[in-house]
Structure 1
Amino acid sequence: TPKLVVENIVKETLASVFAGKTLNQIQQLKIADICCGSGTFAISIYDYLLEQITLAFIAEGIKDDELIYQSFNGSYILTLKSKQAFLVGNIYGVDINPYAVEVTKFSLLLKLLENENAASIDNYLAKYNQKVLPSLDDNIKTGNSLVDEKYFEFNPDAIEDDVLLYKVKPFNWKDEFPFLEETNGFDAIVGNPPYVRIQNMVKYQAEEIKYYQSTISGFTVAETETFDKYYLFIQKAINLLNPNGVLGYIVPNKFFIVKGGKALRGFISSHSSLCKIIHFGVTQVFPNRSTYTAILILDKKARELFNFKRIKKLSTEFIAGAINYVEYANAAYTDQPWIFVSKESEVIFDKVRAANTVPLQSIAEIPVGLQTSADKIYIIEPYTETDTTFKFKKGKVDYEIEKAICKPCLYDLSFNLFDSVTPNAQIIFPYTITDDKAEAFPEDYFEANYPLTWAYLNNFRDSLSKRSINGSKQPKWYQYGRSQSLTKFHDTPKLIWHVLSTKASYIHDVDNLQFTGGGNGPYYSLISNSEYSPLYL
């Protein structure tokens, strides 16, 4: 996460937490990053903490050379002893990667030594006869922030499965941070949670996803077919805050409007938690990545109003935190899509609504793509073909499968408005479609009629069998992970466009092109369910 963005999140989140606090009250604050990575946010918390502590010392007129001293240029500087105490007493972090945890500890200890020299360290050692670098083992810990002790209720056998435990890493918050019993939670949590779509969680975190979707986990934001891992981190962080706590995250802004974001919008709005939204729109915050983001500041306690600002570029105004906000009422935002428009624009929209206009959803459908939960297996990129087969590679291995089981597919292909697109891949489609209903092939039929494809998929049977397969009472190991859109792209003209695009890039398809993806894309399509042609729409 860029440093200027980290500093802005920390400042916007912690300003209200520190406001009006005495030095003694600041000493009691507990601030965390529960997905701390290599410690970028932890370092920024440390800087902000020391700045506020110094101001509190000055404001209260405390003069104690063991804690703070005045330098030759008149500025006040905290002693190494003070910095140690506040680092160990105020800053906490968790990450599932043990190497990241060690990097965070190391970074914080290096930061502790900033502005120290040989003389100051020798003086400290002579005076206190204790280690200069404190242990941070009780502050920065390894574990899965999202999976707690309830996992053993969900999966009782896990307690004896060392391999599973090493992978999932359940984390008991009150055992690891006993002070949470007394404080009822953290005063603030900041960070940049991982963005992982459900399709990738199914592939790489299958051991966890069923837990997230269970009632035992308590994750209401996972009670939907499409969600992202950062949804879980938002709900978990809110639950880990004390009654006056504040959360500050940078997350993708798509959940504001997409169907899959309804559960998260509902969770936030039901608590009237919105405090601030800094919306970056199409402005790219992360270098070399197309991610459309927003800074989300949430209060644990309910609020009547929240502040909103759309940022068009990372300007001096943003860096300095001198942002002019517009106020909105929390009550106006529910689980329905969050639309932020100016008062002038709202007048125009009201006129459009009053004119008895026909909403697009009443004359067209916008389905998601096929959801295999294993695109790298089902999607192939042939290097040659015969009359009846495709030949392709997976890794260093050559395979051959029947053409008849494949459908033309778009796979990570860019295109422009009104392009004529040639499919760049094929997707294995082990289904028959009858009367607009898709049925997975019976096993004996599949093996007898498509022996090459049957043999190919059997090479990956173990990984395919581990997927979470929905939409069927008795799922077959080779069917897709989800049943959405199986019949949507069958003999139906449609429009296709990129989900993440700053300009119109629609193409018209009459060749039954397939594509994969859930609510996050990479493509969307539009199918007319009225007399209107997709070309007109």
Structure 2
Amino acid sequence: MKYKKLGQIYTPKWIIQEILDEVDFRGEKILNQKIIDPACGDGAFLIEIVDIVIGEAKNRKLGLEDIRNILENNIYGIEIDRDEYRKCKTNLNNIVRTKLGIDKIDWKIFNDDTLTKYREFLNFFDYVVGNPPYIRIHNIDREIRDLIKNEFEFSKGVLDIYLSFFELGLQILNRQGKLGYITPNSFLRNSSAKRFRRFLKDRKIVRTLIDFKSNKIFRNISTYTAITILDLNHRKNSFEYKEFIDGKIKKVDEIQFQDLEDSSWSFSSPENRDFLINLYQNRNYKISDFFNVQYGFATLRDKIFIGNITDSKDKLVLFNNYWIEKSILKKIVKGSTYKGDRADIKYILFPYIRPDNRFTPIQEEELASKFPFAYNYLLQHKEELLKRDRDKNSNWYEFGRSQGIQACNNEKIILGTLMKEEINFYFLEKDIYLYSGICITQRTTNIGFDTLSDILKSDEFKRYIAIQGKDFSGGYKSITTNLIKNFPIASIYLKNSRFQPMLDFL
């Protein structure tokens, strides 16, 4: 599928116009300035740019040859897909033919890979604009993946390639340059984008940030987006924060760079910011001081590891249409859908043992000898299991990630990762494990699950999540382990186990 391979998403015209307005691409000055779309596709941004340039040139009474010279020398694009590259040039030629009566322009549009081509244009452009490809690094060919990880500082870990386009975009700007992109808004909160956030904060180059939150800008694409305007000549200690409200982009706040946290950027109204300030005042403890908060198992192939028991004989059970040893299975629930109904309990093939109170993988020879049916089942799926982007140095038959394994064998509170009006959570015994959700276990006996239950049900915790959580369609907010860990505990919780707390701020 071309979208997944190349990350192509086509940009609405009004978004293009908004970005060009935000970078101040207007007036006589643009006739002497250079602009590029580094992932130009079929030319959506460039079409609008050419239209603006031609209009400005005509207003200045420039002749056809002067306009041709401007178009050929100031407007650039790069596109890796040959079909889209051809469409782009055709579309641009159609514009100049219609508006100027010129049949052909020698466009500076390149059919090339921006990840390497950009080196030819360091410190060159006045404007970099566009809609970079949305594609996860693990969907890229290994050669390009290695290039990204070795060459781009913002692209460490499993990230979308758009962060690399931010980095290369900044490198090809001149000292007075401006960059305007529409991208996923995941860089505002994801821990893997922490380096990028710190860079923006330290350099103070953010001019405007427009978060579309749960509004889906692209048809048939579930990506949540933001427009980011960077200005290398930005000389302020703050930037404008805007949101898409009632079908219009509106300013919400002026954000001070000094107030930004490296861990996550979550912006809201001044009233909500005051609530958060009051929430943190005079509170010396967080939930993480008393509880372990982790995501559940991440097998990266749930359809292989998780299923139901449909039959049994002796010590074997029929699991996903294979007979395997029952003793290697553990009970498990899915945090995102579990509502407390015991009928929703499934089973997970658990290739781990627990000597010395710590889970370790069963060695392959031991797995084959003690659990020959389960081992044969895993062998039948080995090719698929090897395709996972699993933890380094892990065995092919282990879960893709080791998260949650050590804490699983404890009594726990579990919850999903989305909230609407209420936060639903459930208590589970130690022998029932969790995937696709959040697991909370006790670190200390100072505070018990009854007190934690009061905290999770409190109005201030729900408001905290509503402000800090990422927006999803349908009015949902994301709940993350970091948000839970960092929630400050009021002193009254440390003294009493059952109460309804008063809000610090109304």
User: Which bracket does the TM-score occupy, shorter chain normalised?
Assistant: 0.7 to 0.9
2:194 pairs with one of 262, 265, 270: 262
Cα deviation for residue 21 of structure 1 reads 0.8
Q: Give the 3-state SS of the residue equivalent to 1:44 in structure 2.
A: helix
Question: Cα gap change, 1:288/1:94 in structure 2, threshold over 3 Å: closer, same or farther?
Answer: closer
Q: Give the 3-state SS of the residue equivalent to 1:284 in structure 2.
A: coil
Q: Give yes or no for contact 1:410–1:513 (8 Å, CA) kept in 2.
A: yes
Measured against aligned partners, the alpha-carbon deviations of 1:283-339 in whole angstroms (never above 9, x if no partner) come to: 333445554332222234554221111223433xx3xxxx44632222332423223
Question: Cα gap change, 1:228/1:31 in structure 2, threshold over 3 Å: closer, same or farther?
Answer: closer
Percent of paired sites with the same residue: 17
Measured against aligned partners, the alpha-carbon deviations of 1:245-298 in whole angstroms (never above 9, x if no partner) come to: 322233333432343432231232232221111122333334455543322222
Instruction: Quote the Cα distance in structure 1 between the aligned partners of 2:261 and 2:283.
Output: 24
Aligned to 2:312: 386
Instruction: Quote the Cα distance in structure 1 between the aligned partners of 2:167 and 2:192.
Output: 15
Aligned to 2:212: 280
Q: Give yes or no for contact 2:179–2:229 (8 Å, CA) kept in 1.
A: yes
Structure 2 residue 424 is the aligned partner of structure 1 residue 506: yes
Measured against aligned partners, the alpha-carbon deviations of 1:108-127 in whole angstroms (never above 9, x if no partner) come to: 4135324857x986xx5xxx
Structure 2 residue 301 is the aligned partner of structure 1 residue 404: no
Instruction: Quote the Cα distance in structure 2 between the aligned partners of 1:468 and 1:184.
Output: 38
Q: Give yes or no for contact 2:336–2:417 (8 Å, CA) kept in 1.
A: no
Structure 2 residue 406 is the aligned partner of structure 1 residue 487: yes
Q: Give yes or no for contact 2:189–2:264 (8 Å, CA) kept in 1.
A: yes
2:151 pairs with one of 211, 217, 232: 217
Instruction: Quote the Cα distance in structure 1 between the aligned partners of 2:193 and 2:342.
Output: 31
Q: What amino acid is the match of 2:378?
A: L
**1:126-525 matches, cutoff 5 A:** 132-133=103-104, 139-143=109-113, 145-146=114-115, 171-174=116-119, 178=120, 180=121, 183-184=123-124, 187-196=127-136, 201-202=137-138, 209=145, 212-213=148-149, 216-222=150-156, 227-301=159-233, 303-304=235-236, 305-315=238-248, 318=249, 323-324=250-251, 326-356=253-283, 358-372=285-299, 374-375=300-301, 378-382=304-308, 384-387=310-313, 388-392=316-320, 399-409=322-332, 414=337, 419-420=340-341, 422-423=343-344, 426-462=347-383, 464-465=385-386, 469-470=390-391, 472=393, 475-499=394-418, 501-511=419-429, 512-516=432-436, 523-525=437-439
Question: Cα gap change, 1:109/1:482 in structure 2, threshold over 3 Å: closer, same or farther?
Answer: same
- Between the two proteins, the alignment pairs up a number of residues equal to 437
Aligned to 2:77: 92
Q: Give yes or no for contact 1:105–1:140 (8 Å, CA) kept in 2.
A: no
Q: What amino acid is the match of 1:236?
A: L
Q: What amino acid is the match of 1:191?
A: N
Structure 2 residue 11 is the aligned partner of structure 1 residue 11: no
Q: Give yes or no for contact 2:207–2:234 (8 Å, CA) kept in 1.
A: no
Measured against aligned partners, the alpha-carbon deviations of 1:443-472 in whole angstroms (never above 9, x if no partner) come to: 111111222332333344456446555365
Give the gaps of 5 or more residues in structure 1. Answer: 69-81, 125-131, 147-170, 393-397, 517-522
Q: Give the 3-state SS of the residue equivalent to 1:367 in structure 2.
A: strand
Q: Give yes or no for contact 2:253–2:268 (8 Å, CA) kept in 1.
A: no
Question: Cα gap change, 1:380/1:336 in structure 2, threshold over 3 Å: closer, same or farther?
Answer: closer
Q: What amino acid is the match of 1:504?
A: E
Instruction: Quote the Cα distance in structure 2 between the aligned partners of 1:233 and 1:421.
Output: 48
Question: Cα gap change, 1:276/1:436 in structure 2, threshold over 3 Å: closer, same or farther?
Answer: farther
TM-score, scaled to structure 1: 0.69
Aligned to 1:50: 51
Measured against aligned partners, the alpha-carbon deviations of 1:489-525 in whole angstroms (never above 9, x if no partner) come to: 22331221124x4443523141523215xxxxxx334
Q: Give yes or no for contact 1:188–1:241 (8 Å, CA) kept in 2.
A: yes
Question: Cα gap change, 1:90/1:120 in structure 2, threshold over 3 Å: closer, same or farther?
Answer: closer
Q: Give the 3-state SS of the residue equivalent to 2:214 in structure 1.
A: coil
Question: Cα gap change, 1:478/1:185 in structure 2, threshold over 3 Å: closer, same or farther?
Answer: farther
Q: Give yes or no for contact 2:293–2:438 (8 Å, CA) kept in 1.
A: yes
Aligned to 1:529: 443
Instruction: Quote the Cα distance in structure 2 between the aligned partners of 1:248 and 1:312.
Output: 21
Instruction: Quote the Cα distance in structure 1 between the aligned partners of 2:324 and 2:68.
Output: 65
Q: Give yes or no for contact 1:401–1:453 (8 Å, CA) kept in 2.
A: yes
RMSD value over aligned CA atoms?
Answer: 3.7
Question: Cα gap change, 1:302/1:436 in structure 2, threshold over 3 Å: closer, same or farther?
Answer: farther
Q: What amino acid is the match of 2:262?
A: D
Instruction: Quote the Cα distance in structure 2 between the aligned partners of 1:442 and 1:504.
Output: 44
Measured against aligned partners, the alpha-carbon deviations of 1:38-70 in whole angstroms (never above 9, x if no partner) come to: 43xx32332133224422441x3x253x359xx
Give the gaps of 5 or more residues in structure 2. Answer: 1-9, 457-506
Aligned to 2:84: 103
* Stretch deviating more after TM superposition (102-111 or 485-494): 102-111
Cα deviation for residue 172 of structure 1 reads 4.3
Q: What amino acid is the match of 1:33?
A: P
Q: Give the 3-state SS of the residue equivalent to 2:354 in structure 1.
A: strand
Instruction: Quote the Cα distance in structure 2 between the aligned partners of 1:425 and 1:242.
Output: 58
* Stretch deviating more after TM superposition (403-412 or 290-299): 403-412
Q: Give yes or no for contact 1:431–1:440 (8 Å, CA) kept in 2.
A: yes
Question: Cα gap change, 1:92/1:54 in structure 2, threshold over 3 Å: closer, same or farther?
Answer: same
Question: Cα gap change, 1:443/1:251 in structure 2, threshold over 3 Å: closer, same or farther?
Answer: same
TM-score, scaled to structure 2: 0.73
Cα deviation for residue 217 of structure 1 reads 2.5
Q: What amino acid is the match of 1:429?
A: F
Question: Cα gap change, 1:281/1:490 in structure 2, threshold over 3 Å: closer, same or farther?
Answer: same
Instruction: Quote the Cα distance in structure 2 between the aligned partners of 1:367 and 1:236.
Output: 35
Q: What amino acid is the match of 1:343?
A: P
Q: Displaced runs of 4+ in structure 1, greater than 6 A?
A: none
Question: Cα gap change, 1:341/1:21 in structure 2, threshold over 3 Å: closer, same or farther?
Answer: same
Q: Give the 3-state SS of the residue equivalent to 2:277 in structure 1.
A: helix
Q: Give the 3-state SS of the residue equivalent to 2:411 in structure 1.
A: coil
Measured against aligned partners, the alpha-carbon deviations of 1:360-403 in whole angstroms (never above 9, x if no partner) come to: 3323333133333x3256444458343533343xxxxx655444
Instruction: Quote the Cα distance in structure 2 between the aligned partners of 1:267 and 1:87.
Output: 34
Instruction: Quote the Cα distance in structure 2 between the aligned partners of 1:120 and 1:88.
Output: 17
